Amino acid sequence: MRNDTTPHVEPLVLWQNACGGSDLSRRDYQHLIACTDCETLAGEITDALDDIEKALTAGAFTLTLPKAVQVLAHAAKIIAN
């Protein structure tokens, strides 16, 4: 029972929020806690950011860059749906 009239939170907004760059609006927050797709994506973004941070610390950014690209591709797919 999914309400398709409710727009997903913009993946870029989730990404910025995960980076601590911006707060979610009330509407986005309420959507996020009710939407499995957005919740999953937010979790994946957080995981990817963790990986990137670890890789930066280790000086091996290129090793996990594909993971970040993977997450963004997944995000694009969700937008398209």
The CA distances from residue 80 to 8, 49, 56, 75, in Å, are 10, 23, 31, 9
Q: Which of 69, 13, 22 is nearest to 42 (CA)?
A: 13
Half-sphere exposure of 11 (CA within 13 A, CB side): 20
Of 10-18, 32-40, 47-55, 64-72, the window that binds Zn ion (rule: CB under 5 A) is 32-40
Supply the minimum distance, in Å, between the C-beta of residue 9 and Zn ion: 6
Q: Is residue 35 near Zn ion by the rule CB under 5 A?
A: yes
Stretch in the footprint of Zn ion (CB under 5 A) among 15-23, 30-38, 52-60, 69-77: 30-38
> Least Å distance between CB 80 and Zn ion?
13
* 66: Cα separation from own chain's centroid: 15
The stretch near Zn ion (CB under 5 A) out of 17-25, 37-45, 48-56, 65-73 is: 37-45
In the complex, the residues that contact Zn ion under the rule CB under 5 A are: 8, 35, 37-38
